[in-house]
Structure 1
Amino acid sequence: MAIPTMGVVVLDCPDPLRLADFYARMLGWTVDPGGDSTWAEVLDTDGRRRLAFQEASGFVPPQWPSGEHSQQLHLDLDVPRAHLEEAEREVLALGARLIQDDADGTRDFRVYLDPAGHPFCLCLCDH
């Protein structure tokens, strides 16, 4: 049996509270701002922390796709097929940018950048 358990995924960014707000609003979760402006977390509907955001001075966003400035990690967010367009409108209104569409439906995902430049995907799911 493993001793460690998964704690939280942490994303570097220039403004932790702004990015926490983006993800909390997109996922329907809440922001726990922490003790200072250098750290913020988002909590799921059960109150468990799921994502955290850490201030990084001199932050340089990844470039997608790029070998020179790789993404290092990205989040795949599941979206039922019937709600993909609605989900896209919502993430764009929150400040995301579409950087790769689904090629007229030939791919089952679309790639976006969050307000700090981290890539994430809206992926079709069957639930």
Structure 2
Amino acid sequence: MTLAKLDVVVLDCPDPHALAAFYAEVLGGTVEVQSEDGDEWVDLTVPGGGKLAFQAAPGFVPPRWPSPDHSQQFHLDLAVDDLDTAEKGVLALGAKPLDAEDRERTFRVYADPAGHPFCLCAC
């Protein structure tokens, strides 16, 4: 018996609309604004039914990667068919390479426009 099921992964960020648009271009899906009481909250429902949400966080400080002194807290692994094609796409959308130099590995690490680390992983 499970006690709960995963509903949504929420990312704090300075601009929920912009970060939702970035991930919508990367993953596809539908963006829906869920602002309530002045709180900025944007949902992205991706193909297959998973959800990411983006919450405005005043004073947001992005994680540092890699840093033994400051944990990245979490990251997303995104499965892709072609690493080179996916890399070109995420860079064009504003991602920054963090550790994409080793072309022999099956993954590459980037930061989204708000600074959250994510990996493109060959399936």
Instruction: State the TM-score, normalizing by the size of structure 1.
Output: 0.88
Distance in 1 of aligned mates of 2:7 and 2:89: 28
Evaluate the alpha carbon distance shift between residue 104 and residue 86 of structure 1 in structure 2; reply closer, same or farther with a 3 A threshold.
closer
Identity %: 55
Retained in 2: the 8 A contact 1:13–1:54? Answer: yes
Q: Which residue matches 1:24?
A: 24
What is the root-mean-square deviation of aligned Cα atoms in Å?
1.5
- Which residue matches 1:96? 95
What letter corresponds to residue 21 of structure 2 in structure 1?
D
Aligned pair partner of 1:44 in 12, 24, 46:
46
Provide runs of 4+ in structure 1 moved above 4 Å.
Answer: none
1:124 maps to 2:117? no
CA contact (8 A) 1:38 1:54 kept: yes
Deviations 1:71-118 (A, max 9, x none): 1000000112xx21111111011110111115131x211000000000
Q: Distance in 1 between matches of 2:72 and 2:33?
A: 25
May I ask how many residue pairs the two structures share in their alignment? 121
Matched, 1:2 2:18: no
Length-normalised TM-score, structure 2: 0.91
Consecutive unaligned residues of structure 2, counting only runs of 5 or more, are none
Asked whether the equivalents of residues 16 and 38 of structure 1 are also in contact (C-alpha less than 8 Å), the reply is yes
Give the equivalent residue in structure 2 for 1:64: 65
Task: Quote the Cα distance in structure 1 between the aligned partners of 2:5 and 2:116.
Answer: 25
